Amino acid sequence: MLYFLKFLTLFFVLILNGVNAFSQDLTRFVNPLIGTSNNANTNPGAVLPWGMISISPFNVLDSAENLGYVPTPYIHGKKFISGFTHVNLSGTGCPVLGTFCLTPTAGTLSLKQSDNMSAYSRQVAEPGYYSVVLDKFNIEAELSTTLRTSISKYTFRKGKANILLNLGAGLSKKEGAVIHRISGTEVAGFKTIGDFCGLTAVQTIYFYAQLSKSPVESGVWDNHRQYPDYNREMAGSNIGAYFTFDVEDNDSIFVKLGISYVSIENARANLEAEQTGYNFQKVRTSARDAWNKELSKIKVKGGSDDDKVKFYTALYHMLLHPNIFNDVNGEYPAYRTNNILKTNGKDRYTVFSLWDTYRNVHPLLSLVYPKQQSDMVNSLLSMYNEGGWLPRWELASMETGVMVGDPSLPVIADTYLRGIRDFDIELAYEAMKHNATAPAEKNIMRPGLEFWAKYGYIPVDAPRLLSDSTRHFYEEMLRNRVVWGSVSTSLEYCIADWNLAQMAKLLGKEEDYTYFQNRSGFYTNNFDIQTGFIRPRLKNGEWVDSFNPTKEELNSFTEGNSWHYTFMVPHDIPGIMDLLGGENQFVKKLDQCFTEGHFNITNEPDIAYPYLFNYVRNEEWRTQKQVRKIVEENFKNTPEGLPGNDDCGTMSAWLLYSMMGFYPTCPGDVNYQITSPVFDEVEISLNPQYYLGDKFIVRAKNNNPENIYIKDIKINNKRADRFWISHDEMTKGGIMEMELRNNP
C-alpha cells in the first residue's frame, strides 16, 4: 500500500509538472506570420534568439527572371514558394542576404526556377520551427535551427526526388558565388553579398552542407547547364548543386547547413559543434526551449489571448537583431577592414539598425537582457578599435551609412547610465567624443558637422546636400559626407551630444560637459517662433520660403516632416515647451498632431509623442488615451498586424512597452513614462549579475478594455504622485500597482 501511495504521489507530481511545463510554453503565444504583410518585412522562418542563421520560405520570386529585390524573403499572400533561404534579416528597409536557397522537388529534374516554384498549403510557423506542404510536388518541408546552423527535413512520395541548392537566387543584388560539390552528400561554397541600400561595400558568407542520404545522381550547374559529378570549385552568378534520389513513400531526407563569415572550414566547424547526426526533433525541441527561456523573462497575466499573442510575438521579433556574428571558435571579420579577429570571450554582434533601435530596443534589452546588451556595447567598442568609428548602421562588419545622426552615442550612454558597466568606459568615452569632434573633412559619421558647428544648425543650402536624383545616396553620405535632411540631422546630433554630455558629467569632465550640453541645445536654432515649428534655415539665417509642415522634403527632413520632428527633442522637453509658449500651448499643439492625423506610428522620429503629455501635470490622461488607441488600432494578430517596417524590432519594442505600461522617451534619461497596462499583471525577471532585485511587477486593478485611465499609482505600497518611474526603482525590484477607471 505504501508503495502504491508513493507511486500515486509521483504520478500526480509528474502530471502537475507536465501541466506547469505546458503553461510555461510561451511559444504558443507567438505568431511569426504577424508582420509578413503591410511592408513590415518580417518572415515566418525558423531562427533562434539572436541567431546568426535563419531559414525562411522564399516566395518573392515571380519568375526565373524577376528577382523582385524586396527587403524580405516572404510576403503573405504570394502564391508560390521557390525554396528556403538561409541568413535572412527581419524588419529592414532594403534587400540583402536571403542566401543559399534549398529547393526540394519531385519527378524529372529541372534547373529552371520557374519549374521549381510550387503552390503551398498546411503552413505552420512557430519559434524555431516552420513547416509547409509544397502542393505541386506533394512534399512536406520542415525547418529548424541552432545558433549558426539549420536542419531541413523533406518528406517525399515514392519516385524521383531532387534537392537543389541555388546560389543565384536571393535578396542581394550582388552577383557572384562559388560552389564545391565535395561528394554526393557534401557541398560547400560562398557568396558575395552587398549593395544594401545602394552601398558598394561587399561581404562574403560561407556555407558547408551535408545530406543524410546518398543520391543516385548529383552535380553542379551553371546557367542551367548540368555538370554531373563535378568535384572542383565552380564560380558564377547562376550556379548551384543538385542531388537526385530514388525514394519510397514517406522517405525523409535531411539537409544540415552551417554558415560562417570567415571560411568554409569555420562553417563546417560550426555545424559539427552544434549538430551531431540528423536528429531533427532534438534541434526543434532545443529551439523551442531556447525561445521559452528568453520569452519567460517577461510573464503576463490577464488580457485576451490575442493580447498575449501580440505581446509575445513582439518580444520574439525584438530578440532577432542584433544577432551573433562570431563562429564557435570566436573568429569574425573586423569592422570595415575584414581582417579576421577573435573575440575575447564575449559574443560579437552584428545588424545594428541604430537610428531605429537606439530609441527603445536597446533600453529594453538593458532592462531585461543586460548580458546581451553588454556584449552589444562591447561589439560597438570593438568596431571603433577596428575601423576607427562607432557605427551608424552596421551590417556584417560593413558600414552601410544608412539613416542619419550619431546613434551609437545614445546607445552606449543609456546602457552605462542604466547600470551596465562591464565595458571599458574610458574607451567608450574616447570613441563617443571622436565621433562627435573628429575633423569635419574626415568625419564620415557626422556629415554637415562643419556647418552645424559654425551656424548652430545645418543650412539647407549648405554644400553637398543630398539631391532627389542621387542614385546611391547612402554611399554618397558615407564617402562624401553628404547630408540627408538638414533639420533631422541637426536634431539627431543634439540628442547624441546630450548623451555625450551626460557621460562627461558622470566622469567628471566638466569642460566637455559644458561644451556638449551647449551643443545639445542647437535645436533651438531650427525653431521658428512665428509658425511654432522646427523648420529648415538658409546660411543667411532666413527661413526657407513656402514652408509646409506636412511636406516631407529630402533636403530638410529624413523620413518625415516638420510635424514628426517638432517635438523630437526628448532630452529637453521643458525647452521645447518654452519655445511653444508654455505648457498649455505645448499640450494644444501636441494634441493637434493627433487630432489632425499628423502623428505617424510607422516611423521613428515621433514614436515617443504619445508619452509627452505626461510632462504636463493633469494632462497624463491624454497619454493613456492615445497609447491605448494606437495599440488597439495599429497592432493585430494578423499578417498585417504591424503598422509598417518593424525596423529590426523597433515597432515591436514600442508595443511591448506600451502593453506593459511604461516607456523610455529619451535614451540617457533613465526614467520611464507611465501609461495604463493592457494586462492585469506583468512580471519582469531581473538579472542578479546586474541588478539588485530579482523581479519587478506591474499590476493593474479594475483592469478591463474600458478602464484605460489611471486613478492611482502605488510603488511598493507607497502612493506615487507622478507618472514616471526610474530605472533604479525598477531594478531594485518590487511592485508598481495602478488602479484603473473608465474616465480621465
Query: Domains of the chain: which residue ranges?
Result: 1-29, 31-293, 298-738
Nearest to 440 by CA among 454, 426, 430: 454
Q: pLDDT tens for residues 623-647?
A: 999 999 999 999 999 999 999 999 9
8 A C-beta contact, residue 439 and residue 445: no
* Residue 176 pLDDT > 70: yes
* Residue 373 pLDDT > 90: yes
Where in 618-694 does DSSP place strands (E)?
Answer: 662-663, 671-674, 681-685
Tell me the mean pLDDT in the region 192-206: 89
Q: How far is CA 532 from the centre of its chain?
A: 34
* Residue 21 pLDDT > 60: no
Burial class from Cβ neighbours inside 10 Å (0-12, 13-18, 19+) for residue 664 reads buried
What pLDDT does 480 receive?
65
Q: Which string of b and e fits 541-565 if b means at least 16 CB within 10 Å?
A: eeebeeeebeeebbbbbbbbbbbbb
CATH entry, 298-738, from 3.40.50.300, 3.20.20.150, 3.40.605.10, 3.30.2080.10: 3.30.2080.10
8 A C-beta contact, residue 501 and residue 507: no
* Residue 23 pLDDT > 80: no
Q: What 3-state class would DSSP assign to 332?
A: strand
Partnered with residue 165 across adjacent β-strands are 102, 241
What pLDDT does 15 receive?
41
Alpha carbon distance 97, 91 (integer Å): 13
Tell me the mean pLDDT in the region 51-76: 81
Q: Using the 8-state DSSP alphabet, how is residue 542 labeled?
A: P
Q: Using the 8-state DSSP alphabet, how is residue 611 labeled?
A: G
What pLDDT does 465 receive?
63
What pLDDT does 464 receive?
66
Q: How far is CA 136 from the centre of its chain?
A: 34
Which residue matches cell numbers 518593424?
Answer: 646
pTM of structure: 0.95
Alpha carbon distance 274, 240 (integer Å): 25
Alpha carbon distance 375, 544 (integer Å): 45
The domain made up of 31-293 has a fold known as Beta-galactosidase; Chain A, domain 5 (2.70.98)
Q: What 3-state class would DSSP assign to 172?
A: coil
Q: How many CB atoms lie within 10 A of CB 661?
A: 25
What pLDDT does 279 receive?
98
What pLDDT does 343 receive?
97
Least confident of 321-325, 411-415, 466-470, 701-705: 466-470
Which residue matches cell numbers 531559414?
Answer: 55
Tell me the mean pLDDT in the region 258-277: 98
| 357 vs 13, residue with greater confidence | 357
Q: Do 298-738 and 31-293 fall under one CATH topology?
A: no
* Residue 384 pLDDT > 70: yes
Amino acid at 597: G
Least confident of 59-63, 167-171, 233-237, 681-685: 59-63
Q: Please give the grid coordinates belonging to residue 245.
A: 534520389
Alpha carbon distance 290, 312 (integer Å): 14
Least confident of 167-176, 430-439, 654-663: 167-176
Tell me the mean pLDDT in the region 406-427: 98
* Residue 322 pLDDT > 60: yes
